Amino acid sequence: MSAPRVYVLNGPNLGRLGTRQVDVYGVTSYAGLVALCVATGRELGLDVTVRQTDAEHELIGWLHEAADEGAAVVLNPAAWSHYSIAVRDACALLRGPLVEVHISNIHAREEFRHHSVVSAVATGVICGLGVDGYRLALRHLATRSG
C-alpha cells in the first residue's frame, strides 16, 4: 500500500522565510521548512510534496490537483487568507482533510489579519506556533489516515 499523499502548499512571500520579518516569522529558511516537512512526513509514513508560489492561480491549480486526488492538504495561504474567495472556493472542493497553518498568531497582529476566509472550510487551523505548526498539522493528518 502506498503512503498517503499530503500536499503542503504555501502562498505569497513564504519563499522569503528566514529573511523576511524574522521577529514575526522566525529564522528558519524556506529550504529549512521544506526539509522539516519532508522529514516529518517520512517519519510518519506520509508522501509529502511541498510547494510555494506567489501566483494565486498556481495555488488554485495545486488545490484542484489535490481535490482530484483526494489528497490531504496543509495550507498556509498567507495574505490570501484574508481576502481570496477564489482560494477559499478551491479549498472547499477538497475531498481530503485541510489543515490551515499560519506561522504567526494572526489574531495578535493587525486587525485585517484576524479573519481568514479559508478557516470556514478547513478541518482545523494552527496558528502562532512557528514552523512547528507544519509538523503538528502533518502529525494530525497521519493519525487521520492511519
SS (H, E, C) the chain: CCCCEEEEEECCCHHHCCCCCHHHHCCCCHHHHHHHHHHHHHHHCCEEEEEECCCHHHHHHHHHHHHHHCCEEEEECHHHHHCCHHHHHHHHCCCCCEEEEECCCHHHCCHHHCCCCCHHHCCEEEECCCCHHHHHHHHHHHHHHC
Q: Which of 7, 25, 107, 140 is catalytic?
A: 25
Q: Which of 7, 83, 102, 114 is catalytic?
A: 102
82 is an annotated ligand-binding site residue? yes
139 is an annotated ligand-binding site residue? no
89 is an annotated ligand-binding site residue? yes
54 is an annotated ligand-binding site residue? no
Task: Say if residues 72 and 6 touch (Cβ distance below 8 Å).
Answer: yes
Answer yes or no: 107 catalytic: no
76 is an annotated ligand-binding site residue? yes
Answer yes or no: 102 catalytic: yes
Amino acid code (one letter) for 146: G
Binding residues for substrate: 76, 82, 89, 103-104, 113
Active site residues: 25, 102
Binding residues: 76, 82, 89, 103-104, 113
